[in-house]
Amino acid sequence: MTELFPRVSMTARGYDIGQVDAFFERARRDYEGSVAPDGETAPDDAVAREGAEQLEPLEAATVRTAAFDLVRHGYSPVAVDAALDRLEAAFVAADRADFIAENGQGAWMTGVVERATTLYERLTRPPGERFAPPQRGRGYDAAQVDVLLDALVAYFDEGTPIQAAQVRSTTFASAPRARAYAEGPVDAYLGRVVDVLLAVE
C-alpha cells in the first residue's frame, strides 16, 4: 500500500501513520464528496462513510488545529504540516467560492474587512502590552510575538506582503512571565489572522 507521506528514520519520531491517514481520508470525503455521478454512494466509500457518520464535517479551523501522536518511524511532520497548510487553504477557497456564488464578491470582502477591523485594535497597543502575561510560569517571548505583530501592522497600514503560511509557521521561544505573553490568547489571535489572510489570498 502506498503511503501518503515520507517517514522519518527508524530511530526518529514522527506523526502516527494511522491517525494521519484517517484524517486525510476524512478530509478527502468532506472536500470532494463521496457521491458517484449517478447520485449513488460509491461502493468503495460505503464502509468509510458508515464509520464517519458521527463526525462533524471538516472545515478550515479543524484542519489548522489537527494534531497527531508522535511515534517512532512515523510520517515526517514537515511533510504532513505542509500538506495541512495546503488543505486548509483549499477548504477556505471552497468556502469562499460557495459564499461568493450565493452572496457576491462584495459581501465576501465586507466580511473580511469586518474581521480585519476586529484584529487591528490589538495591533495599536504598545509592544509588550498587546497580550496579558501568563498567570504563572512561562509563555511566549513577548518581543518575538511583537515582531510578528509589527509585520501585521505593516501589512494593514502599508500593504507590505505577508502570507498566511508565514504566520502559521512562526514559532516563539519560551520566556519567563515578566517578559512573556500567555500562549492561548496569542494562538487564538493568530488563528484569526490566518483566517483573514487566507480569505484574500
Contact present, 72 and 10 (Cβ < 8 Å): yes
Cβ count near 193 (within 10 Å) = 22
For the entire predicted model, the pTM comes to: 0.67
Domain regions of the chain by residue span: 13-101, 104-200
Confidence of residue 33 (pLDDT cuts 50, 70, 90): low
Contact present, 177 and 139 (Cβ < 8 Å): yes
pLDDT of 18: 94
Q: Which of 37, 32, 38, 3 is nearest to 20 (CA)?
A: 3
One-character DSSP codes across 134-181: PSSSEEEEHHHHHHHHHHHHHHHHH-----HHHHHH----EEEGGGEE
Q: Which of 132, 135, 155 is nearest to 145 (CA)?
A: 132
SS in 3 state form for 84-116? Answer: HHHHHHHHHHHHHHHHHHHHCHHHHHHHHHHHH
For 37, list phi and psi in degrees, rounded to 5.
Answer: -55, -30
Mean pLDDT (the chain, rounded): 85
Confidence of residue 123 (pLDDT cuts 50, 70, 90): very high
For 70, list phi and psi in degrees, rounded to 5.
Answer: -95, 125
C-alpha–C-alpha distance, residues 137 and 182, integer Å: 10
Tens of pLDDT, residue by residue over 42-88, are 444 444 444 444 556 777 778 888 899 999 999 999 999 889 888 88
Confidence of residue 34 (pLDDT cuts 50, 70, 90): very low
Q: For 165-190, give one letter per residue: b (16+ CB within 10 A) or e.
A: bebbeeebeebeeeebbbbebbeebb
Tens of pLDDT, residue by residue over 125-134, are 999 999 999 9
